[in-house]
Amino acid sequence: MTLKILSWNILQGGGSRIQSIVNFLLEQNADIICLSEFHNNTNGYFLRSSLLKSGWIHQSTGANAAENNTVFVASKIPFESSYPAKNLDTYQDLMIKANFSAFSLYNNYFPHKKEHKLFDILFEELHSNSNAIIVGDLNTGKNYIDQVGDSFWYQKEFSTLEKNNFIDAFRFFHKEKKEYSWYSHQGNGYRYDHTFFYQTLSAIAKNCYYLHEVREQKISDHSPMILELGI
């Protein structure tokens, strides 16, 4: 049996692309769907209800205002959710902790080149939580590896995940392959979107990859990411 986790930044709530976004999610049929830049507006309601009718009956999202970005988790498997960053003065509701029976999953959206404490909150959570999976648009990576240049903020914090026994799932399967999940208007590539799992889960990790065609079709400006676990 394969458990499929899909994570994706859908770009400002989806806009006029929302039907295409829903069609893509239904086609992928992942067991767990983790979205960032989700909006609690009419499009968000349409997306949630569409997934609900198709079997993703367990859902959780942040309480941010309709015009603000938040995160969203939908699953065919029961989970309990909490919001570790709930009390931040800024950038709250940008992290969902979804507790499943076999692991905890953190879906994140970390703002681009902004000062925030979201990594600190994540590290506090992970300190006492093994068997965790981390997904989402972290808006950082390793300079000269996950981009050509050195413009990433929070590279040190990103690398700290590995120092604390979390494995970069894409690198676990693809080593030093150059592959990017977002491109600037100038055509510069960046690997902003990531999946990490705690080292104890490596035995059941089967694959991790991006689906670039949906970005190339401009359904979003980010490539969705898939993690497959064999259980």
Alpha carbons within 13 angstroms on the beta-carbon side of residue 3 total 16
CB within 8 Å of 107: residues ≥ 6 apart: 7, 34, 35, 36, 71, 72, 73, 95, 96, 98, 135, 136
Into how many domains does the chain fold? 1
Q: For position 95, which CATH number holds?
A: 3.60.10.10
Close Cβ partners of 66 (under 8 Å, ≥ 6 residues apart): 39, 40, 41, 44
Looking at residue 41, its pLDDT comes to: 96
| Domain housing 48 | 2-230
> pLDDT at position 89, please?
76
Profile the chain (231 residues) by mean pLDDT over runs of 10 residues: 97 98 98 98 97 98 88 98 88 94 96 94 86 97 97 96 95 96 97 97 97 98 98 68
Distance CA 78, CA 80 (A): 7
Taken as a whole, the chain contains a residue count of 231
Amino acid present at 146: D
State pTM to two decimals.
0.97
Token readout for 187 is 């055509």
pLDDT at residue 129, rounded to an integer: 72
